[in-house]
Amino acid sequence: MSGRKFKPEISDEACKGCLICVYTCEKWGAGILKESEKRTPIGGVLPEIAGYCTGCRWCERTCPDFAISVEEVA
């Protein structure tokens, strides 16, 4: 995947704040997703992007709410 750039997109509306994407990224990905200061309407913690995405898509595959997608950027 070298030379290619990827960007995760997080839907604040769909995200319930379970942070499964953050834990997955830390364990199997690049570790770029972190807890943010923002909260969901039900009190969950929204993730934020804090680094370079490798495009592994583990966060996308494990999100139970389909609230995150990873797109290749030019």
Q: Name, in order, each residue with C-beta under 8 angstroms of 68's C-beta and a sequence gap of 6 or more.
A: 8, 9, 10, 11, 15, 21, 47, 59, 60
- Quote the number of domains for the chain: 1
What does the pLDDT read at residue 2? 64
Expressed as residue numbers, the domain containing 12 is: 5-73
Q: What is the pLDDT of residue 25?
A: 95
CB environment 55-64: b (16+ within 10 A), e (fewer): bbebbbebbe
Question: How far, rounded to the nearest angstrom, does the alpha carbon of residue 11 sit from its chain's CA centroid?
Answer: 10
| Confidence (pLDDT) at 14 | 96
- What 8-state DSSP symbol labels residue 22? H
Q: Is the full-model pTM beyond 0.85?
A: yes
pLDDT per position as a tens digit, 2-57: 689 999 999 999 999 999 999 999 999 999 999 999 999 999 999 999 999 999 99
CATH number at residue 16: 3.30.70.20
Which whole number is the average pLDDT over 54-69?
96
